[in-house]
Structure 1
Amino acid sequence: MDIQIKRIYDPPGPADGIRILVDRLWPRGLSKERAAVDYWAKAISPSDELRRWYGHEPDKWEEFKARYFEELGANPEGVRELRQQLDSGPVTFLYSSKEERLNNAVALRQYLAEEC
């Protein structure tokens, strides 16, 4: 499973393949045309409560992933819908956070890799 990760504010590129937004909220100041999102996976993004609790604090990363994985495990239909998108070729998960290494797109890719 080849999943790239890219900040949604970066310009789309030909190697992106299917562009999947994995955030619950639409990115500020970005039009739908400029974002070039093919699928918005809102149903499998972290809950508002989890997102607020985490606050992109590096010390909470491992606990964030554990809680997020629990949420994903409790949402098999949302994960199944996302997996259908992954069958179409190259995929890029898009996120809006300024944090490049510790964000929900990275966690989601890890979850999907470990679930297989």
Structure 2
Amino acid sequence: MSDWKNEIKSRFDAYIARQEEINEVLKELLKSLEVHPYNFATSMVFNDGEERSWTISIANKEVLITEKEITNSQLSYTEDLNSTEPLEEKGDLSESIIEVFLKKFKWTIAK
């Protein structure tokens, strides 16, 4: 048990590294929407709580994206519907966040 301090530090470092990794990809993706021909106003606010999340705004639409949603998007699952064990990661972080964006950002026209 003498190594517990190193274990705590390692966990904290991994926690911060994951947050920074997601922050950087989100910033990059949002920045790409701010230029021609898209010209969307975008913003991102990090919400540190029990479940880390980001409030993302594109144009006039604001959504909440959680770390869990991003992580789930990165994982592949077995064919067995009763199993929730991931087989392996799929794609990179950018592709996974784009997948979450496409699920969350939907504009509808009132009829």
Please indicate, yes or no, whether the TM-score normalized by the shorter chain is above 0.5.
Answer: no
More strand by share: 2
TM-score (norm 2): 0.29
